[in-house]
Amino acid sequence: MIITDCTQTAVFQTTGNQTNMFNHNSGGSETPGNCTKGLGLPLPCPCGPNGTPYTYGGGAFVFQAISRSFFVGNASNGVPSLFARDYTNGDDAGSPSTLTTDSELVQGIESIQILPYSRIKIGPRRSINLV
């Protein structure tokens, strides 16, 4: 799971759920498990059971973490296409993530380019952000 309040973000594994509440204890039988119970910074090194406490406010968001990759491949009709590949979470015994599905997103895509964030000046006081 991922929790954020736009000031701080933490990634954690649930160790039990209650109504409108997630448990995130350290250690235990969960694999890989949480380093600490606290979701604050800084993290102690080595991990301690309580960690650094942090209370997320009412405007915080909780998301399920997913693993997804994108690639260019050929569709069943031979046309180059953009695909998404989704993976399952590993099981509780600690097995690695496994492939679940490849989904075709858009046909006619021949390549993917990932460019670093940059700012281009288009005038004395104006610029645009490229992502």
pTM as predicted: 0.56
Contacts of 123 (CB under 8 A, 6+ apart): none
DSSP character for 116? -
The whole-angstrom separation of Cα 60 and Cα 49 is 24
CB atoms under 10 Å from CB of 21, counted, come to: 7
Classify strands 16-18 and 2-4 as parallel, antiparallel or unpaired.
unpaired
Domain boundaries defined on the chain: 1-65, 67-107
**Each residue's pLDDT tens digit, 106-119:** 999 999 887 666 55
| Phi/psi-derived region of residue 105, left when phi > 0, alpha when psi is between -120 and 50, beta in every other case | alpha
pLDDT tens by residue, 52-80: 888 888 888 888 877 788 999 999 999 99
Q: Which amino acid appears at position 21 of this protein?
A: M
Per-residue pLDDT tens over the stretch 38-55:
888 877 677 777 788 888
